[in-house]
Amino acid sequence: MRTRLIINSDAKNEADDQFAIVHALLSPSLEIVGVIPAHFGTHRTTESQAESRQEVDLLLRLLGMEGQVEVADGAPQKIPDPATPLDSPGARLIIREAAKPGPLSVIFLGPLTDMASALLLEPSIQDNPELRVVWIGGGPYDGVHGGEHPYEFNLHNDVDAANAVFASRLNVSQIPWTVYTKVSVGYAELEAKVAPFGELGAYLYRQLVEFNQTWTDWAGIPEIEYRTLGDSPAVGVVLNDGAAAWRYHAARVFEEPGRMTNRVVPGRSVRVADSIDARWLLEDMFAKIQRHTRSV
């Protein structure tokens, strides 16, 4: 029996979602029951959800999977408060699949908007013991963000949604920035293991380098030759839960602009990753991209 999976992705926010989406779609043990293109705030564009949809559609075309995977748009923006959902096809997809028998994982590579909305629209889903939420987001549990990390980006894009999810009875696995930022890969390795493999590989490599160039120019920092594929751990732990070292923590309350407080949700705990097997994760993804290209 394959693992049912929904991918919720702010796919055009950076250059790492693309790798995670492709990895999941090329993994034979996963049954992808839907992809939800998500918003990523308004810091760069007012059409972030629509841009994520365009990127998901492009990836499906490059994979030769157009029309084979359901794509259900998520909300165009964050929820207005922790008690008010934003109805969307993406939230309804989660509700529909959570009502079916059998295990279901939903990975969030951006904000938790659509999970919070699904929960608020249909609270009964939080009592499904086979529903697992995996979130790339939030900060470390050994202190509140400070210094050069005033907030965590995915949390920042919907603090109210994170609070709604963490206060619920949902089974949550969290991969904080102190773990997801450790999955880095250099240009040289991508040139050797991804770029030569078809139109898909060439695009994955090119868009990453182009994003880096745009980002470093905007930030006024020296050129770099690597990128963190920070969304990939969500796929990795669905494929292989033992790839991460886990620890339970009391669920925290979050505050604007995207920080963890020391306040806890009474009686509530979440499972948090302390580390990830980055080398296994990257090599598995590279091999699947290469295998796919050879098979088409």
In a domain, 160, yes or no: yes
- pLDDT tens profile 50-81: 999 999 999 999 999 999 999 999 999 999 99
Full domain range(s) for residue 158: 3-183+229-274
Question: Which pLDDT score, from 0 to 100, does residue 149 have?
Answer: 63
Work out the mean pLDDT of the chain and round it to a whole number. 95
Question: Which pLDDT score, from 0 to 100, does residue 147 have?
Answer: 44
Cis peptide before 89 (omega within 30 of 0): no
- pLDDT tens profile 5-56: 999 999 999 999 999 999 999 999 999 999 999 999 998 899 999 999 999 9
In a domain, 253, yes or no: yes
pTM: predicted TM-score of the whole model, two decimal places: 0.96
CB distance 254 to 221 below 8 Å:
no
- pLDDT tens profile 100-150: 999 999 999 999 999 999 999 999 999 999 999 999 999 988 764 444 567
Distances (CA, A) of 244 to 18, 182, 296: 21, 12, 33
In a domain, 55, yes or no: yes
Residues 6+ apart with CB under 8 A from 229: 16, 19, 20, 183, 184, 185, 282
| pLDDT above 90: percentage of residues in the chain | 89
Residue type, 11: A
CATH number at residue 253: 3.90.245.10
CB distance 238 to 134 below 8 Å:
yes
In a domain, 287, yes or no: no
- pLDDT tens profile 157-196: 999 999 999 999 999 999 999 999 999 999 999 999 999 9
Domain count, the chain: 1
Q: Are strands 171-175 and 131-136 parallel, antiparallel or unpaired?
A: parallel
In a domain, 29, yes or no: yes
Question: Which pLDDT score, from 0 to 100, does residue 146 have?
Answer: 45
Question: Which pLDDT score, from 0 to 100, does residue 215 have?
Answer: 87
